[in-house]
Structure 1
Amino acid sequence: MKMISKKDRIGIIVLVCFIGVMFVIQALADQKYGVQKITEDSSGLWLSHIVGDEVIVTFISAPRDMGKTVKARLMDAEVPGIVLQFEKEEIFFSFSNIISVQLSK
């Protein structure tokens, strides 16, 4: 059985550390530049993504029979988030930092 030389062991350790650093960089990039999530439910079709520690919500289509007017207010409750009001109905999103809400036409 052949022994691994000290130089080869150092090379293996450097390679393993490099791979670990690449995984960490990828995770940080996903967190900083955003991982998008598209959801469709009774509140319409909307997209949310995280940029750093902020959440951006974009409505692609408004809920049915609710008109085009959207009012938003931040909730400073036990679960921080935002309430979006579409004329008759209010929808609560439990995000702590929302920097913008946009309705696409």
Structure 2
Amino acid sequence: MTDYLTMKSEFDGREIPPSLLARFDEARSTWALEVASAVEALAEEFSFKGTADDVARSLSCNEVEALSTVLHRAGFDAEADRWLNSHIEADYDLTADDVREAHGVDVDRGPSA
């Protein structure tokens, strides 16, 4: 992974020399697989119902939305919704309109598509 990130920062905004294109593409492909694997592992660990119920309530709106986005992107849609819903249930200080604005959620129908 370091090779790709190093190369990316070294050539950021500049054209990659043709002699390095194959190496750069291979490093990027390896990096992408490593990131996808890490996201999947994170999603699996954070998909347990008890974790969402216990932790989502203490996260900020931005934190739970970021985690929910990662879970959705990894294909864990039900788990992502569980995190968001557990968080929303703990937003006792928010009105239904505030929840809709903060999370883009219709509290009567759940997360928007």
TM-score above 0.5, yes or no: no
Q: Which has the higher strand share?
A: 1
TM-score, normalised by the number of residues in structure 1: 0.32
Q: Which has the higher helix share?
A: 2
TM-score, normalised by the number of residues in structure 2: 0.31
